[in-house]
Structure formats: structure tokens, C-alpha cells
């Protein structure tokens, strides 16, 4: 029966009782954006800009960057919004022209937005390029920063983004940012939870370490608590809070996330139909129950079992 539901789901993202949950795509370049736009996605929730430049020794010029970004924005002009993430260089994504070499502990080092501080103009040039691409394509373009830990970082970033007429947000990947989500939302327009890194940092377990997979699991109740705090801050502020980590692609977790108050789920576009079908099969009431059950569990396994029971 489930397979049939997947086949007939045609979007948009809605619970059985009509509560909207935007289902968005994670993309890496123009080609993946065009592929995604052929499906039912309602926009792009995560454009990983650093993936465009993995093979570049030198920083691309503003004009070169604008061309690359415009390819991603163009398929979504007039169709939802596109969230461009500024360079997430460092740690597991080395970018020759930005990453710090030789850090002892790169996951806790100068990565993501932190690179802006000692690389004058790098962030500003990228934002200029994104603004040019947004203007050229007419796409509704939001911009967010990765690896934000403090409200001051969010405020400084937001000022640069607003100065270019774009909509600023930050990723919640560091537990400190989740705990301060209500204050983050005083300075930005939206939050996007990166569950891959949020889980890594909450559980103090390397996201790439396969022998720690029992810890790097977004069903860990501690991770769900951080998501709950962040989503609640969004509800109070009346601002969107999405998920753009791998957790968004888990059809069993989707009702939990909706119950916690998440407003959008962004994932590899191939995962969207299964998640859309699942959300379409549950009411907001059962999402609330699923969220409560998952939060009460003491392990990911307990959580999965409890939610499976609630959803029937």
C-alpha cells in the first residue's frame, strides 16, 4: 500500500488535514537544480555553493560565481524560493582557496562562516555574486550561513545580506545556536537546521565515523530536543524553521519533525515523493503524538518503535 501511495503523490507537501509543509530540494549545481525542478519540489532548501568549487585552486571571480549561481536559481524563478548557503568550506569539505590547512581538529576549527573573519572580502564577494544572480533570474533568493555559533555572528551576517536586498537566515548546526534560536530570530528571517552537523556536535561524535553511527542518529532524543527548541522559537517568532540535513529524508521521522513545528523539509529530490506521501497520510494531531513519543524515548530504536506504533 505504501508503494502505491508513493507512486500517486503529486505534491504539494500537506498533512492529511491540510497543514502545509514545504518539501524542498538539496542541490549542488545547475544540473542537480534542473533535475530537481523536473519533480514536485516546491523550491530549494539548501544549495551547497561550496560543492561548485571543489576543484578550484583560486577563488572564482564575482562574475564567474554569478554565472554558476544563476544556473541554480533560473529553474526556480517564479517557483518557491531558493536558499543559497554561503561557502561551507573546512572540515569534511576542503576548498583549496578557503580552507585552513593543518588544523588539529577541523570539525571544531575555522569552518563555514568562521572563514569570513580572516579572509577579507571572501563572503562579501560571494554575496555580491548571489545578488547578481538573483537579480538576473528573478528567483526569490534567501541566503544562509553555515556553522553559526553566536547571535553576533548571525547579526553581522544578516546586515551584509540585507544590504544586498536579500533575505538572511542562519543554519542551526551548533547546539549553542539551537539554544539561542529565539535570539537568532530577532536578527534573521529564517532558520534551517542542519541535522548532520547538529547531531555530530550534540552527540560529540564524528559524522563520518561509521563506528559511531548509533550516536550520529537524528532520532537521538537529545537531538530532537534541540530541534524542538529551535522549532518552538520559530513558532513564537512567526518565522520559518526548516530542516535540511539527511534527517529530512526519513519518511518515519517527517511526522515527528512536523509535530515539533518544523515548516519545511529539504532533501535529495529523489527522497521527496516518499516523504510527501507519508506527510499526506498523517494528521497534525498524529504528528503531535509522534513528536511526543519520539521525545519521550530513551534511544533512537525506542523512538522509531514508539512512532511506528502511533502512526499505525
Site membership for ligand PEP, residue 49 (CB under 6 A)? no
- Window 165 to 204, contacts with Mg ion (CB under 5 A): 173, 194, 197
Site membership for ligand PEP, residue 196 (CB under 6 A)? yes
Q: Round to whole Å and give the CA distance between 255 and 274.
A: 12
Among Mg ion, ligand PEP, none, the one that 153 touches (CB under a kind-dependent 5 to 8 A) is: none
Among ligand PEP, Mg ion, none, the one that 230 touches (CB under a kind-dependent 5 to 8 A) is: none
Q: Round to whole Å and give the CA distance between 311 and 112.
A: 38
Of 6 and 96, nearer to ligand PEP (C-beta) is: 96
Catalytic, out of 145, 149, 244, 275 = 244
Of 88 and 289, nearer to ligand PEP (C-beta) is: 88
Total residues in contact with ligand PEP, by rule CB under 6 A = 10
Of the residues 132, 185, 191, 244, which one makes contact with ligand PEP according to CB under 6 A: 244
- Annotated ligand binding at 197? The verdict is yes
Region label for 229, one of left (φ > 0), alpha (ψ between -120 and 50) or beta (otherwise): alpha
Among ligand PEP, Mg ion, none, the one that 48 touches (CB under a kind-dependent 5 to 8 A) is: ligand PEP
Task: Please indicate whether residue 244 is annotated as part of the active site.
Answer: yes
- Window 121 to 160, contacts with Mg ion (CB under 5 A): none
Binding site listing for Mg(2+): 173, 197
Binding stretches for ligand PEP (CB under 6 A): 46, 48, 88, 173, 194-197, 244-245
Binding site listing for phosphoenolpyruvate: 48, 85, 196-197, 207
Active site residues: 244
Amino acid at each position: 500500500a505504501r508503494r502505491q501511495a508513493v507512486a500517486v503523490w503529486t505534491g504539494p507537501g500537506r498533512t492529511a488535514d491540510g497543514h502545509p509543509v514545504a518539501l524542498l530540494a538539496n542541490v549542488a549545481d545547475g544540473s542537480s537544480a534542473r533535475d530537481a525542478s523536473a519533480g514536485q519540489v516546491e523550491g530549494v532548501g539548501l544549495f551547497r555553493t561550496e560543492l561548485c568549487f571543489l576543484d578550484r585552486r583560486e577563488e572564482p571571480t564575482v562574475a564567474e560565481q554569478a554565472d554558476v549561481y544563476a544556473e541554480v536559481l533560473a529553474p526556480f524563478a517564479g517557483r518557491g524560493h531558493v536558499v543559497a548557503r554561503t561557502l561551507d568550506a573546512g572540515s569534511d569539505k576542503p576548498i583549496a582557496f578557503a580552507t585552513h590547512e593543518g588544523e588539529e581538529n577541523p570539525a571544531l576549527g575555522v569552518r563555514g562562516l568562521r572563514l569570513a573573519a580572516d579572509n577579507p572580502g571572501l563572503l562579501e564577494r560571494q554575496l555580491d555574486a548571489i545578488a547578481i544572480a538573483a537579480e538576473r533570474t528573478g528567483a526569490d533568493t534567501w541566503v544562509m550561513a553555515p556553522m553559526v555559533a553566536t547571535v553576533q555572528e548571525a547579526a553581522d551576517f544578516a546586515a551584509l545580506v540585507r544590504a544586498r536586498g536579500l533575505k538572511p537566515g542562519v543554519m542551526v548546526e551548533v547546539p549553542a545556536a539551537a539554544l539561542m534560536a529565539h535570539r537568532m530570530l530577532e536578527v534573521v528571517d529564517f532558520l534551517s537546521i542542519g541535522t548532520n552537523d547538529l547531531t555530530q556536535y550534540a552527540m560529540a561524535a564524528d559524522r563520518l565515523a561509521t563506528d559511531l553511527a548509533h550516536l550520529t542518529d537524528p532520532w537521538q532524543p537529545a537531538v530532537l530536543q534541540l530541534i524542538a527548541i529551535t522549532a518552538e522559537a520559530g513558532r513564537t517568532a512567526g518565522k520559518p524553521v526548516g530542516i535540511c540535513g539527511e534527517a529530512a529524508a526519513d519518511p518515519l521521522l517527517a511526522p515527528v519533525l512536523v509535530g515539533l513545528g518544523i515548516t519545511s523539509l529539504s532533501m535529495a529530490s529523489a527522497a521527496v515523493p516518499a516523504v510527501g506521501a507519508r506527510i499526506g497520510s498523517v494528521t497534525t494531531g498524529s504528528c503531535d503524538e509522534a513528536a511526543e513519543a519520539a521525545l519521550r524515548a530513551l534511544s533512537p530504536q525506542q523512538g522509531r518503535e514508539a512512532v511506528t506504533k502511533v502512526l499505525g
